[in-house]
Homo-oligomer: A and B are copies of this chain.
Amino acid sequence: MPADQLSSVFGALADPTRRAILAQLTDGDRSVAELSAPFPVSQPAISRHLKVLEGAGLISRSRRATARLSHLEAEPLREATAWLARYQAYWDESYDRLDALLAALKRTQADEQSPIE
């Protein structure tokens, strides 16, 4: 995946309506009318979101009679996940720091509760 497609994928995911559309498509292909139903936005607004998702390679579109169906293309999400996975060591580190902080707090509390000799 070229670097720019990765930017397009992250850009496409940077919107709650577009993320919700992808979630809907996990249940199967959907028309614009079906995808618009749960949202308080117009079908043209949903169509614009679909264009962004299609541009990022996250959906493909086909025709069924007069309806255009959107189909989830999850492969680019694998690449996005692979990019993020490189940072796992660093978020684990922040957990380690939190663990150390909690352990230090516990020691302090234990010290405070121990009787003065």
Binding site for B on A (CB under 8 A): 3-4, 6-8, 10-11, 13-16, 19, 22-23, 26, 72-75, 77-78, 80-81, 83-88, 90-91, 93-94
From known contacts A19-B83, A77-B84, infer whether A90 and B7 are also in contact, taking CB-CB under 8 Å: no
From known contacts A74-B91, A87-B77, A91-B74, infer whether A10 and B4 are also in contact, taking CB-CB under 8 Å: no
Contacts of A85 on B, CB cut-off 8 Å?
81
From known contacts A3-B16, A10-B10, A16-B3, infer whether A94 and B81 are also in contact, taking CB-CB under 8 Å: no
A16 B11 Cβ-Cβ under 8 A: no
Q: Which of A11, A72, A84 has the most CB of B within 10 A?
A: A84
State how many angstroms separate the Cβ of A106 from the closest Cβ of chain B: 22
B15 A13 Cβ-Cβ under 8 A: no
Contacts of A88 on B, CB cut-off 8 Å?
78, 81
**Between-chain CB contacts (< 8 Å), 19 pairs:** A3-B16, A4-B16, A6-B16, A7-B16, A10-B11, A10-B13, A10-B14, A14-B14, A19-B83, A22-B87, A26-B87, A26-B90, A74-B91, A75-B94, A77-B90, A80-B84, A81-B81, A81-B84, A81-B88
